[in-house]
Amino acid sequence: MASDSRTRPLIEGALMAALTVAITLFSVYAPIIGLVTLFFVPIPLIILQVRHGLRITLVAVVATALLTIAFMGLANGLLIGGGLWLMALSYGFAVRRKLGALASYAITAAATTVGAVATWAGTLLIMGEDSVAQAGASLTEAIKEFIRVNGARLTPDQIDLLQRQTSVATDWAHKYVLAMLIGSALFMALIVYLAAGWVLPRVGITVPRFPPFARWQLPLMPILLVWAVGLIVLSGAGRFPQLARFVPVASNLYSLCTIAFIIEGLAVAYFFLTAVKVPPVLRVVLVLLLMINMVTARLAMWFGIFDYLFDYRRLRAKPAN
């Protein structure tokens, strides 16, 4: 019995590592559905850590990393798996310690962000491979191939529009690479958190649930301070040349804070749509329409900013149970 109790965690760790690698490979090489299964990559390692602790999970993560790199190469393996492996460790730690939903997500999101930025910087510095530049080059080649195949059916204006939009997208990606990395890491952590919240109870693991979207409250004061500093730098760079060196970082932080305010504003909108009993599906559609329209998204941003001052939903006065 004692021998079995010692070997069982190792066997389960090996199985979870193999399952993680299998899901990763399927996510990369399976069309369309692979984008969905990518969010389930960390879950086997999360289950392993909750059941057997950090030491066994670290061994499984090392095995997972070696196998993933063996199949996909060093750069691709680290870019795809780096943030996900840290996410699994941090989320497993939070669930094992029985932390609340927001604390669990904060720890998971922070670890995922660190993993994403460190992996990108590591592959850039050590291997000289910029994933953002590679993505931009791939997009440019794809558009060129599309024009080559379909050029006869396109007008010169349409071809010119495609080329200009591709150039703008590539330039935008380089300018806001930090915001893209952090934003995508935060979004990935959120989706994985929700996916794990669906899977883990089915294997007997209790996890704290997120509050409803209508009651989401972001830490607006620190976000507002960073946003204000970014705005000051961007506005004053033209008049004060010494601020020019800070413009790239300021523009990235300003963009991230703007997105945070938009999310807060959309939560306010969803709250009032719920209050007037708009059907759930229509609520989601309306919020998505608000988000994708430039004018309404800007309006949502200001509602998010002023929610800190006016507390439209009275959540600070009457916190949710």
| Residue among 64, 67, 70, 121 at smallest CA distance from 87 | 64
DSSP 110-121: HHHHHHHHHHHH
pLDDT of residue 317: 55
13 contacts 57 by C-beta, under 8 angstroms: yes
**How far is the CA of 93 from the CAs of 52, 58, 198, 271, 289, in angstroms?**
11, 12, 18, 32, 37
Q: Quick one: average pLDDT of 291-318?
A: 84
Residue 91 CA to residue 97 CA, distance in Å, equals 10
Tokens at residue 276, please?
Answer: 């007037």
Mean pLDDT, all residues of the chain:
80
pLDDT higher than threshold 50 for residue 320: no
pLDDT of 103 above 80: yes
Position 270 scores a pLDDT of 93
Cβ neighbors of 223 (< 8 A, separation 6 or more) are 257, 260, 261
Q: In whole angstroms, what is the distance from residue 74 CA to residue 27 CA?
A: 17
Average pLDDT over residues 13-21: 87
Token duo for residue 65:
């990393």
285 vs 82: which has the higher pLDDT: 285
Query: The pTM is what?
Result: 0.71
Query: CB–CB of 17/85 below 8 Å?
Result: no
Place of tokens 């089915």: 202
pLDDT band at 130 (very low <50, low <70, confident <90, very high): low
CA–CA separation, 21 vs 41, rounded Å? 8
pLDDT of residue 1: 47
**Within the chain, where are the H helices?**
2-29, 33-37, 43-52, 54-72, 74-96, 101-127, 131-150, 156-175, 177-199, 220-236, 247-275, 280-292, 294-310
Residue written as tokens 């660190």? 114
- Stretch 9-30: mean pLDDT, rounded? 84
State the average pLDDT over residues 58-79: 81
**pLDDT value of residue 171:** 66
CB 123 within 8 A of CB 79: yes
Q: pLDDT at position 274, please? A: 92
Per-domain residue ranges of the chain: 1-130+176-208, 211-321
pLDDT digits (tens, 9 = 90+) for 223-234: 888 888 888 888
> Nearest 5°: phi and psi at 275?
-65, -35
Token pair belonging to 233: 């730098």
Between 301 and 139, the higher pLDDT residue: 301
Mean pLDDT of 163-186: 72
Q: What is the mean pLDDT of residues 243-261?
A: 86
Task: Provide the phi-psi class of 216: left if phi over 0, else alpha when psi is between -120 and 50, else beta.
Answer: beta
